[in-house]
Amino acid sequence: MSKNLTKRSEDYSKWYNELVVKADLAENSGVRGCMVIKPYGYAIWEKMQAELDRMFKETGHSNAYFPLFVPKSMFEAEEKNAEGFAKECAIVTHYRLKNDPDNKGKLMVDPNAKLEEELIVRPTSEAIIWSTYKNWIQSYRDLPLLINQWANVVRWEMRTRLFLRTAEFLWQEGHTAHATKAEAIEESVKMMNVYAEFAENFMAIPVVKGVKTESERFAGAVETYCIEALMQDGKALQAGTSHFLGQNFAKAFDVKFATSEGKQEHVWGTSWGVSTRLMGALVMTHSDDNGLVLPPNLAPIQVVIVPIYKSDEQLDAITTEVDKLVSALRKLKISVKFDNRTTHKPGFKFNEYELKGVPVRIAIGPNDLENGTFEVARRDTLTKEVVAKEGIEIYIQNLLETIQNSMFANALEYRNSHITEVNSFEEFKELLDSKAGFFAAHWDGTPETEEKIKELTKATIRCIPLDRVEEAGVCMFSGKPSIGRVLFAKAY
Amino acid sequence: MSKNLTKRSEDYSKWYNELVVKADLAENSGVRGCMVIKPYGYAIWEKMQAELDRMFKETGHSNAYFPLFVPKSMFEAEEKNAEGFAKECAIVTHYRLKNDPDNKGKLMVDPNAKLEEELIVRPTSEAIIWSTYKNWIQSYRDLPLLINQWANVVRWEMRTRLFLRTAEFLWQEGHTAHATKAEAIEESVKMMNVYAEFAENFMAIPVVKGVKTESERFAGAVETYCIEALMQDGKALQAGTSHFLGQNFAKAFDVKFATSEGKQEHVWGTSWGVSTRLMGALVMTHSDDNGLVLPPNLAPIQVVIVPIYKSDEQLDAITTEVDKLVSALRKLKISVKFDNRTTHKPGFKFNEYELKGVPVRIAIGPNDLENGTFEVARRDTLTKEVVAKEGIEIYIQNLLETIQNSMFANALEYRNSHITEVNSFEEFKELLDSKAGFFAAHWDGTPETEEKIKELTKATIRCIPLDRVEEAGVCMFSGKPSIGRVLFAKAY
């Protein structure tokens, strides 16, 4: 198969769009802004889900499911949250179609089937969930309440891109309630750490942990913790957020509990989520001009085996060898595919698995049969080796681990070499064009300065890193005092 | 905890509604007709999903995800399907709210944000999926296309009941495309069999396999295969359907493929689904006046252990014994919970796990400590035994299997004793009131007779069983010739 993929250096954005479609991850649908997640893309998402779900359960959370729709009066109860999402939401107003009398075979909205109250398709579920929590929480014994939901949400974005920004997307949203402020903050930080661990150990994406500035905060939150990643084009991508909600939603929905001393108090909340956007981050962190590069921990197929033969007898002999290898690999829980299609040539298959980012490709031909070897190719480095068949399954197992670690190390090196300290706005503007990446700069802490910098450069404050050095400095823009550097970047 | 559950014999419907809420399975939400699936109920659904998903993958299907919304013009393309769902669908007409100038703090639909084309919230996804398949299928090499989706769907039902009939529900929907009619029919039958196997082996619910009559068929299908179960009140419940779609959707969406001879032909389709409705079937098949009775294969907690003690020393000694048992059970992959809460008495806990249907309850007190025993109680039979601690994990493992089999055997016996042959309409009407269950009767094969019987008795034809005996007879209603008996029942 011919890949015809635009090069990253030519047009990074075009490369991304083409790759997502050609590698069978997703495509645009006939519905404005909504994507179809294709089987290969969905298989990666399923692996992400399984891992995250395990981590959520290990940290004490249970799954539940809440309604897709939010009645308008419920939606508007927490004012800041409502304001934040009102401008881009899908609204259900009617519940029936009827035959269109003027157009045979066509349907029209039945004007007699108007809802008494409009329903908003959830852009996020705080409102519907906190209205439910009101009935679930009476006493300190009901706390903490630790719940997660896997769901679809809708935000009516005007400019959409596959995975990165779509009108409908899939995500998980955790919603927890606690007796004390300290406990709720601890939960928010814990879940940010779970996300960071997942991003680094499974996606092989290094992340900066931090808090958002006021203007980048989730609508209705007191504090937004986040993990920020850097893509190969030097633009940042917010990979997950965890919000400390204070008592905002508890107050909006009147959720109180009796303390052990019998006092009535509002509970403290958190919410946290990651979405199919992570698929975009995965593609943009690791892939190259030949196609996807998937980390072994998330690859639906970790190893593919391609036979090279000229006769049926050769294929039979190869198959005998491959069957042994396949069962040895499966015993080690390595997912392996033997591509013995007779309709496609080896070269076509090599190209296809390169495009699809399968971490390890094994080829076996007549020479290998004779020598008792396999040819093992790494997708990440595009290097090949001939390996003896004895004990090769252990070699492959180690190789997968090596690839996983090496992908992370490379991404980390790239990321670290793209964090630049800048001390003046001139320097910042200049480097922003030539170098890209994160820029660590002093900022005076005001939304006004942040806004002006954004207007002039399109760069935003990605986060205030949790591990930043507290140091006196002057804001690169206003010259006012600063207590430490924050990370600026252009972002997805 | 006091259960205060209405008895089944008093008011079966009330018993069901109360049990679903009290056992923490689900509750009504603040959104008309939409339910909240609570963590305990969702944990059962997750077990169902995991098992079904495994079965779908083993039969060659992949998961994918398609948009929530269907543009009206796409929705109406397959006329019968559109007609079938038009009367009860949620319609998105606008994409923005704005501040209501007449009501401070309130929002209103922004009339300037009207969609050019209305979007239907999917009641089922044939339309959106077949419009996508058009681009995925060119040649016989692209077939069969075997895809499943886990998703939420919305049908604007006027009278709703938790799990059984809700405006929004969760389900899976398989959508496949094939080169030949025979292959598509084979797929429909295969998936009906997968559903039957799941219902019987995991849910412990015996089912009748059959086909629907024309009037009960899925809108847009050529044939609907189904599995029908019988609830404890003698009403039938459709537990899963698998549709042979013929070329209806292929023609509506112009999905053609080149055969190996190069001819252009429309593809053949199927679709099949089961939903959270299965949760209702699970409750109504097995549960009793004390609460849920869950089959071990789907119980989130298979074994609960309750300590009985008067002093901290006793609890310590008990805990030592229990820890050993817990780890022995976990090694056998049995899910076990040690309820060592000090805030609740054993009696309260016994009641709670009875209500929640935990298959096996183990109690251990000072006497057991002395004698080296545990007290083992079965939820399904409400019987108890004292069992020596040596090798008890194997005893428990066998007991879980016994319970699973015994629950199925009991449900099967009930079902079989509630299939009654009737030969006249008088007899049918009389027995329908006194006995309930399935009634096997001759029918002349016309929708008119079926409709009249429904009007007069509220009973419908649940299915034409696949294994029915072909025998000449006369229709119990019209006296016209019949070629075999069909199953009538009142149904959920």
> How do strand B303-307 and strand B268-275 relate by DSSP bridges?
unpaired
The tokens for A457 are 């450069």
* Interface test mutation site (partner A, options B46, B69, B96, max chain A beta carbons within 10 A): B69
- Euclidean distance between the first and the last CA atom of chain B, given in angstroms as a whole number: 31
> How far, in Å, CA of B452 to CA of A458, rounded?
70
* Interface test mutation site (partner B, options A35, A37, A40, A65, max chain B beta carbons within 10 A): A65
Please tell me the distance in Å from B65's CA to the nearest CA on chain A.
Answer: 5
Residue A75 covered by a domain:
no
C-alpha angle with apex A89: A86 to A93, nearest 5 degrees? 105
Residue B478 covered by a domain:
yes
**Residue B2 pLDDT greater than 60, yes or no:** no
For helices B12-22 and B277-286, the axis angle rounded to 10 degrees is 110
> How far, in Å, CA of A81 to CA of A124, rounded?
9
Q: Does A171 touch chain B (CB under 8 A)?
A: no
Q: Does A371 touch chain B (CB under 8 A)?
A: no
Contact of A34 with A168, CB cutoff 8 Å? yes
For A278, the 3-state DSSP assignment is helix
Q: Does A86 touch chain B (CB under 8 A)?
A: yes
The pLDDT, as a whole number, for residue B23 is 98
Q: How far does Cα A135 stand from its chain's mean position?
A: 33
Contacts 24+ apart (CB under 8 A), B322-326: B322/B364, B325/B362, B325/B374, B325/B389, B325/B392, B325/B393
Q: Does B152 touch chain A (CB under 8 A)?
A: yes
Chain B residues inside the 8 Å CB shell of A45: 65
The pLDDT, as a whole number, for residue A66 is 98
Nearest to A96 among B66, B88, B94 (CB): B88
Nearest to B147 among A39, A68, A69 (CB): A39
Q: A256, A286, A316 — which closes off a domain?
A: A286
The pLDDT, as a whole number, for residue B158 is 87
- Choose among B220, B33, B127: nearest CA to A95: B33
Q: What is the DSSP letter of A334?
A: -
The dihedral over CA atoms of A207, A211, A217, A218, expressed in degrees to the nearest 10, equals 60
Residue B342 covered by a domain:
yes
> How far, in Å, CA of A407 to CA of A414, rounded?
11
Residue with tokens 């970047």: A489
Q: Do A91 and B70 touch (CB under 8 A)?
A: no
Contact of A481 with A449, CB cutoff 8 Å? no
Nearest to B156 among A43, A76, A96 (CB): A96
Residues with Cβ < 8 Å from A14, sequence gap 6 or more?
Answer: A6
The pLDDT, as a whole number, for residue A2 is 53
Size of interface A-B (CB pairs under 8 A): 186
Q: Which residue has the higher pLDDT, B210 or A105?
A: B210
> How far, in Å, CA of B124 to CA of B62, rounded?
18
Please tell me the distance in Å from A154's CA to the nearest CA on chain B.
Answer: 9
B60 residue type, one letter: G
Chain A 319-358, CB below 8 Å of chain B: which residues?
Answer: 343
**Residue B226 pLDDT greater than 60, yes or no:** yes
> Are both B393 and B430 inside the same structural domain?
no
Low-confidence ranges of chain A (pLDDT < 70): 1-2
Q: Does A414 touch chain B (CB under 8 A)?
A: no
Chain B residues inside the 8 Å CB shell of A68: 34, 121, 152, 154, 168
> Are both B117 and B155 inside the same structural domain?
yes
Q: Do B31 and A119 touch (CB under 8 A)?
A: yes
Q: Give per-residue burial for B197-212: e unless 16+ CB within 10 Å, then b.
A: ebbbebbbbbbbbbbb
Q: Do A31 and B88 touch (CB under 8 A)?
A: no
Helices (H), B23-173: 39-58, 72-75, 79-86, 126-136
Please tell me the distance in Å from A98's CA to the nearest CA on chain B.
Answer: 7
CATH number at B275 reads 3.30.930.10
> Are both A279 and A340 inside the same structural domain?
no
> How far, in Å, CA of B91 to CA of B72, rounded?
9
> Are both A202 and A348 inside the same structural domain?
no
> Are both B282 and B309 inside the same structural domain?
no
Please tell me the distance in Å from B151's CA to the nearest CA on chain A.
Answer: 9
C-alpha angle with apex A119: A115 to A120, nearest 5 degrees? 155
The tokens for B321 are 């014994």
B355 residue type, one letter: L
Q: Does B90 touch chain A (CB under 8 A)?
A: yes
* Interface test mutation site (partner A, options B21, B91, B147, B254, max chain A beta carbons within 10 A): B91
- Choose among A490, A25, A102, A79: nearest CA to A287: A25
Contact of A278 with A187, CB cutoff 8 Å? no
Residues with Cβ < 8 Å from A186, sequence gap 6 or more?
Answer: none
Range of the domain at B318: 303-399
Q: Do A31 and B71 touch (CB under 8 A)?
A: yes
Chain A residues inside the 8 Å CB shell of B90: 69, 92, 94-95, 119
Q: Does A181 touch chain B (CB under 8 A)?
A: no
Nearest to A71 among B30, B70, B156 (CB): B30
Q: Do B86 and A66 touch (CB under 8 A)?
A: no
**φ/ψ of residue B224, rounded to 5:** -115, 115
Chain B residues inside the 8 Å CB shell of A79: 105
Chain A residues inside the 8 Å CB shell of B156: 95-96
Q: Report the mean per-residue pLDDT for chain B.
A: 97
- Strands ordered across the beta sheet of A336-338: A336-338, A303-307, A360-364, A373-378, A384-388
Chain A residues inside the 8 Å CB shell of B135: 27
Residue A359 covered by a domain:
yes
Q: Do A90 and B106 touch (CB under 8 A)?
A: no
Residues with Cβ < 8 Å from A350, sequence gap 6 or more?
Answer: A306, A361, A363
Q: Do B88 and A74 touch (CB under 8 A)?
A: no
CATH number at B346 reads 3.40.50.800
**Section B169-186 average pLDDT:** 98
Would you say the ipTM is above 0.90? yes
The pLDDT, as a whole number, for residue B286 is 98
> How far, in Å, CA of A199 to CA of A122, rounded?
26
Residue A134 covered by a domain:
yes
**In Å, what is the CA distance from B230 to each residue of B199, B280, B296?**
12, 12, 20
Which chain B residue's Cα is nearest to A169?
B67
Q: Does A22 touch chain B (CB under 8 A)?
A: no
**Residue B402 pLDDT greater than 60, yes or no:** yes
**Residue B1 pLDDT greater than 60, yes or no:** no
Residue A250 burial (CB count, 10 A): 24
> Are both B134 and B196 inside the same structural domain?
yes
Please tell me the distance in Å from A38's CA to the nearest CA on chain B.
Answer: 5
Residue B411 covered by a domain:
no
Q: Do A39 and B63 touch (CB under 8 A)?
A: yes
> Are both A231 and A305 inside the same structural domain?
no
Per-residue model confidence as pLDDT tens digits over B11-49: 999 999 999 999 999 999 999 999 999 999 999 999 999
Helices (H), A235-364: 248-252, 277-286, 312-331, 346-355
Q: How many domains does chain A have?
A: 3
Chain A residues inside the 8 Å CB shell of B68: 34, 121, 152, 154, 168
> Are both A56 and A154 inside the same structural domain?
yes
For B36, the 3-state DSSP assignment is strand
Q: Does A71 touch chain B (CB under 8 A)?
A: yes
**Residue B346 pLDDT greater than 80, yes or no:** yes
Q: What is the DSSP letter of A261?
A: T
Burial environment of residue A338 by CB neighbours within 10 A (0 to 12, 13 to 18, 19 or more): middle
Nearest to B97 among A29, A36, A91 (CB): A91
Max Cα separation, chain A? 83
For helices B447-457 and B425-434, the axis angle rounded to 10 degrees is 40
* Interface test mutation site (partner A, options B22, B28, B36, B141, max chain A beta carbons within 10 A): B36
DSSP annotation string for A347-359: HHHHHHHHHTT-S
Please tell me the distance in Å from B15's CA to the nearest CA on chain A.
Answer: 21
The tokens for B108 are 């209103």
Per-residue model confidence as pLDDT tens digits over B427-476: 999 999 888 899 999 999 999 999 999 999 999 999 999 999 999 999 99
Please tell me the distance in Å from A485's CA to the nearest CA on chain B.
Answer: 38
**Section B186-204 average pLDDT:** 98
> Are both B48 and B182 inside the same structural domain?
yes
Q: Do A31 and B343 touch (CB under 8 A)?
A: no
Q: Do A68 and B168 touch (CB under 8 A)?
A: yes
**Section B343-371 average pLDDT:** 97
> Are both A322 and A272 inside the same structural domain?
no
Q: B399, B432, B451 — which closes off a domain?
A: B399
Residue B414 covered by a domain:
no
> Are both B248 and B322 inside the same structural domain?
no
The tokens for B439 are 């009634």
Q: Do B105 and A72 touch (CB under 8 A)?
A: no
Q: Does A114 touch chain B (CB under 8 A)?
A: no
> How far, in Å, CA of A468 to CA of A482, rounded?
13
CATH number at A439 reads 3.30.110.30
Residues with Cβ < 8 Å from B450, sequence gap 6 or more?
Answer: B213, B215, B443, B460, B461
- Choose among B450, B446, B439: nearest CA to B485: B439
The pLDDT, as a whole number, for residue B434 is 85
Chain A residues inside the 8 Å CB shell of B343: 141
Chain B residues inside the 8 Å CB shell of A67: 29, 31, 34-36, 168
> Are both A432 and A485 inside the same structural domain?
yes
Residue A293 covered by a domain:
no
Nearest to B91 among A29, A82, A95 (CB): A95
Q: Do A92 and B170 touch (CB under 8 A)?
A: no
Q: Does B89 touch chain A (CB under 8 A)?
A: yes
**φ/ψ of residue B12, rounded to 5:** -60, -40
**φ/ψ of residue B98, rounded to 5:** -135, 170
A312 residue type, one letter: D
